[in-house]
């Protein structure tokens, strides 16, 4: 009997546990270690921040659904990985042995990299549901006393999509409240241009997002490095333009990501930022029984930009990484060579409150076979449908990339007819 341990129970870890259980059967042991007892659907956080969703709409307890599938659950944060002993130590002192380890922790949010950044300081965040709920309280205060808003991402950030989404969702929410004209909005980003997204753009992303910002009267600063966030203002330095002070009655900034401490502290497992180094089979080159998938893996930037930017890991890519890791663990248990590889395609639905933009990059790294972007109300409806679909399949205990396959097929069909 092989013992497989998954660290993390979000959009990477939970599907990994379900796929492992299905692929390996009941003859092997699957255990999930999580720092929370509850699953939260992170892509819905921008809606939580404007009051369009509540915590209970996008969350459910993990234990009953995992145990129903015969998966053990340890609701304690991982404190240390001991690859020599093949054990994970939790903050409560529990030692969980493994034969194979899957790291799907997600990131550590590096708010401390910028003075005054984060929900415990002077800016809001939508990176967790707790942060989104705090952002909603700040949003309600903005409704009571309208003033300037600053939305964006810090230098080194890699997850730009939620920043774009939230700026446009916030615009829609303010219009619905008939307060938009009282709220000047500014978007700040380390990207060299709007729509770069750490991917050197996708299709017409630059022109589409610039057009959307102009239509909605959202000004922007690119190549922007945040110097500090103070109460009521954000101080940035723009490459070639110098320092600027932006008044901010409300601000939401996506921080840079790093690897979590329990993972980053393992010698030879990660890069300097703490992201797990993996080979083409999602396996650590140093420790051949450790695999990783999701935001916590290391992917080199696609190009050097004036202000540092990272590479996003989208939902479709994460599910592909998970499937490859599971396939290769199964092969290893059965004495076969690994063959599963992630497809590394990027598929993103960016909601804008009442409409949206879909981006498809196949593969994510250029040159691409497909690079495609389209706007329409169908994107907003598809995002809502995907939320319901993904939460339902996580409760059912299945991990099927059905939605992603549909989007992928649709993109290819549209390209053939253009």
pLDDT digits (tens, 9 = 90+) for 173-209: 999 999 999 999 999 999 999 999 999 998 899 999 9
* Residue 308 lies inside a defined structural domain of this protein: yes
How much is the pLDDT for 176? 97
Domain of 236 in residue numbering reads as 111-256
Residue 401 belongs to a domain = no
Are 234 and 137 part of one and the same domain?
yes
Catalytic residues: 159, 348
Beta strands 149-153 and 250-254: pairing type? Answer: parallel
Of 239, 256, 273, which closes a domain? 256
At 152-183, the pLDDT tens digits run 999 999 999 999 999 999 999 999 999 999 99
Question: Are 118 and 237 found together in one domain?
Answer: yes
Q: Are 118 and 215 members of one domain?
A: yes
Q: Does pLDDT of 234 surpass 60?
A: yes
Note the pTM of the prediction, 2 decimals: 0.94
Instruction: State mean pLDDT over 358-377.
Output: 85
Q: What is the CATH number of the domain that holds 168?
A: 3.50.50.60
Q: How many structural domains is the chain composed of?
A: 2
**Average pLDDT taken over every residue of the chain:** 94
Looking at the fold, whether 248 and 138 belong to one and the same domain comes out as: yes
Does 408 have pLDDT greater than 60? Answer: no
Residues 6+ apart with CB under 8 A from 41: 11, 58, 59, 387, 390, 391
Q: What is the largest CA-CA distance in the chain?
A: 65
**Coil/strand/helix, residue 258:** strand
| Any domain includes 160 | yes
Same domain, 239 and 132: yes
Whether the pLDDT of residue 412 is over 60: the answer is: no
Q: Specify whether 116 is located in the same domain as 234.
A: yes
- C-alpha 306 chain-centroid distance: 24
Would you state the pLDDT for residue 159? 94
Q: Are strands 29-33 and 38-40 parallel, antiparallel or unpaired?
A: unpaired
**Does one domain contain both 316 and 242?**
no
Domain boundary among 218, 235, 256: 256
Mapped onto helix, strand or coil, the DSSP state of residue 139 is helix
> What CATH number is attached to the domain comprising 40?
3.50.50.100
Q: What is the DSSP string of 304-371?
A: --SS-------HHHHHHHHHHHHHHHHHHHTT----------EEEEEE-SS-EEEEEEESSSSS-SEE
Taking residues 236-255, what's their average pLDDT? 96
238 pLDDT above the threshold of 70: yes
Q: Which of 106, 11, 134 is nearest to 387 (CA)?
A: 11
The answer on 284 and 223 residing in a single domain is no
119 and 201 belong to one structural domain: yes
Among 344, 362, 393, give the residue marking a domain's end.
344
């Amino acid at each position: 009997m092989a013992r497989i341990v998954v660290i993390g129970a979000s959009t990477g870890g939970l599907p990994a546990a379900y796929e492992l259980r299905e692929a390996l059967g009941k003859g092997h042991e699957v255990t999930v270690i999580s720092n929370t007892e509850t699953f939260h659907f992170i892509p819905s956080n921008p809606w939580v921040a404007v009051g369009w969703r509540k915590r209970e709409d996008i969350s459910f307890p993990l234990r009953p659904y995992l145990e129903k599938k015969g998966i053990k659950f340890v609701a304690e944060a991982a404190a240390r990985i001991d690859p020599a002993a093949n054990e994970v130590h939790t903050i409560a002192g529990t030692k969980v042995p493994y034969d194979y380890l899957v790291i799907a922790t997600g990131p550590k949010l590096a708010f401390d990299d910028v003075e005054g950044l984060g929900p415990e300081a002077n800016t809001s965040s939508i990176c967790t549901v707790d942060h989104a709920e705090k952002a909603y309280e700040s949003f309600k205060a903005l409704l009571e006393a309208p003033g300037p808003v600053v939305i964006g991402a810090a230098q080194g950030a890699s997850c730009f999509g939620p920043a774009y989404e939230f700026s446009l969702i916030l615009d829609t929410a303010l219009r619905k409240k008939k307060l938009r004209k009282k709220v000047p909005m500014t978007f700040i980003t380390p990207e060299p241009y709007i729509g770069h997204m750490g991917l050197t753009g996708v299709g017409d992303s630059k022109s589409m997002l610039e057009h959307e910002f102009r239509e909605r009267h959202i000004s922007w600063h690119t190549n922007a490095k945040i110097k500090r966030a103070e109460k009521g203002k954000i101080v940035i330095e723009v490459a070639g333009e110098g320092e600027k002070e932006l008044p901010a009655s409300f601000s939401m900034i996506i921080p840079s990501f790093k690897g979590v401490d329990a993972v980053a502290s393992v010698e030879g497992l990660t890069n300097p930022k703490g992201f797990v180094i993996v080979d083409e089979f999602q396996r650590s080159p140093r420790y051949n029984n450790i695999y990783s998938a999701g935001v916590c893996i290391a992917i080199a930037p696609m190009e050097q930009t004036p202000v540092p930017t990272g590479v996003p890991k989208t939902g479709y890519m994460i599910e592909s990484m998970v499937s490859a890791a599971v396939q290769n663990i199964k092969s290893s248990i059965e004495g076969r060579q690994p063959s599963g590889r992630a497809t590394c395609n990027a598929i993103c639905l960016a909601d804008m409150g009442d409409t949206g933009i879909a981006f498809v990059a196949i593969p994510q790294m250029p040159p691409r076979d497909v690079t495609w972007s389209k706007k329409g109300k169908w994107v907003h409806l598809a995002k809502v449908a995907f939320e319901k679909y993904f939460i339902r399949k996580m409760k059912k205990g299945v991990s099927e990339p059905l939605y992603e396959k549909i989007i992928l097929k649709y993109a290819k069909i549209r390209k053939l007819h253009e």
